[in-house]
A = this chain, B = another copy of it.
Amino acid sequence: MINYFSSDFKLGILGGGQLGKMMLYDTRKYDIQTYVLDPNSEAPSRIACDHFEQGDLMDFDTVVNFGRKVDILTFEIEGVNIEALKKLEAEGIKTYPSAATLEKIQNKAIQKEFYTEKNIPTAPFKRYQKIANLIADVESGARSLPFVWKSATGGYDGKGVSVIKEAEDLQKLPNAECIAEEMIPFKNELAVIVARTPSGEVKTYPVVEMEFHPTANQVEYVICPARIENHVAEKARAIAKQVSEAFEHVGLLAIEMFQTENDDILVNEVAPRPHNSGHYSIEASYTNQFEQHIRAILDLPLGNTDSKVGGIMVNLVGDKDYEGEVVYKNIDTIMKMDGVTPHIYGKKITRPFRKMGHVTIVNKDINEARNIAERVKGEIKVISRS
């Protein structure tokens, strides 16, 4: 085994946002030397890494030069230059997840075609190189409304996805490659995180459930374990494992899924990195997702993915009416509540709907956790000074 701990070994991380920041708790715990590249000099990961560099993740030379300094390269954001990863791999620098895996995921149309090819259940869809082709299909009646439009590239946190209900909605869409997906009525939106090592050891985390606001189309709570029947949970974990193996993925893969009215599981999309749906694991799991990612890419034994207690995650997003220097109003009130831990990502400026942090609520009784989570959501507000 390579000596990763307090040694000359160097781990590179592309991206220095909140996911990178949380990953650094675990590289610090293991005293693994880290290099971080991010375009923002004020990135949350700028401290706690050993070496921080400011630079463009989509620039070939920047990524290649950065990657040459490290022994293993990983990323916390998918928007990185794939040609640079290929070049580095050719030079013998290990990249986990690999360029080949990322390439299949970065473009949502390619990702969907990959599911079809591998017999992974997913909602029916069609790929369009240009928006004009999609408009033609709608006009000819070949595609009926409503349907889900997804941009092939550049989508993130709900951007690049729209439900198209009327023909005139089509006019607002960018003229880029996209897919049109059948709208599937579903009972639940679920997610499973899978960890896989270069040696092929695989472990899945329990199924989590995204609970949506009853009227606003917005995830309010990520709940672990999902309040679903065992046989559905087992099916979801089995499919997640199948997806990870199909991609020959190394590291963490978060798989978002729909549970249909008939209890079928359809894969929606994946993220090849630690994921918002796994933040609960810091407080609730035997092995949190960030530590697991580090274990996986270093080909160390994977840790126990079970939960010690029930966990619920609430995102802290900037209030829609405020912009400016951030204030976490009533944070002291929520810290009085049982099993409540706020995570503050370290962004100084709040903007409407900006992800500023999250709050985890843990409890042996998941229903009690859910009650406390509702009180948390009712109290805390991400606003700005006066």
Residues in chain A within 8 A of chain B (CB atoms):
1, 3, 5-6, 21, 24-25, 28-31, 47-50, 286-287, 291, 295, 300-301, 303-304, 308-309, 326-328, 331-332, 335-336, 338-348, 362, 364
For A295, list chain B residues within 8 Å (CB).
335
Nearest CB of chain B from residue A156's CB, rounded to whole Å: 23
CB distance B6 to A326 under 8 Å?
Answer: yes
| A31-B344, A309-B308, A346-B31 known; A339+B3 contact, CB < 8 A | no
CB-based nearest B residue for A344: B31
Main secondary structure of the interface of A (DSSP, over half): loop
| A3-B327, A47-B49, A327-B3 known; A303+B335 contact, CB < 8 A | yes
For A21, list chain B residues within 8 Å (CB).
28
For A340, list chain B residues within 8 Å (CB).
303
Q: Name the contact of A331 in the complex, choosing from B5, B341, B342, B345 (C-beta under 8 A).
A: B5
For A346, list chain B residues within 8 Å (CB).
6, 28, 31
For A345, list chain B residues within 8 Å (CB).
31
CB-based nearest B residue for A356: B6
Instruction: List 13 contacting pairs A-B, 8 Å CB cutoff, sorted by A.
Output: A3-B328, A5-B328, A5-B342, A5-B344, A6-B346, A6-B348, A25-B25, A28-B47, A29-B341, A29-B342, A286-B362, A301-B335, A308-B309
For A49, list chain B residues within 8 Å (CB).
47
Q: Copy number of this protein in the oligomer?
A: 2
Q: Name the contact of A362 in the complex, choosing from B24, B308, B327, B342 (C-beta under 8 A).
A: B308
Nearest CB of chain B from residue A38's CB, rounded to whole Å: 16
Docked pose: A47 CA to B47 CA in angstroms: 7
Docked pose: A12 CA to B340 CA in angstroms: 25
Docked pose: A133 CA to B247 CA in angstroms: 77
For A28, list chain B residues within 8 Å (CB).
21, 24-25, 47-48, 346
CB distance B344 to A29 under 8 Å?
Answer: yes
CB distance A332 to B1 under 8 Å?
Answer: yes
Nearest CB of chain B from residue A144's CB, rounded to whole Å: 48
Nearest CB of chain B from residue A76's CB, rounded to whole Å: 15
| A1-B332, A309-B308, A336-B301 known; A342+B30 contact, CB < 8 A | yes
Docked pose: A359 CA to B143 CA in angstroms: 59
* Max chain B C-beta neighbours (<10 A), residue from A291, A303, A345: A303
Nearest CB of chain B from residue A41's CB, rounded to whole Å: 14
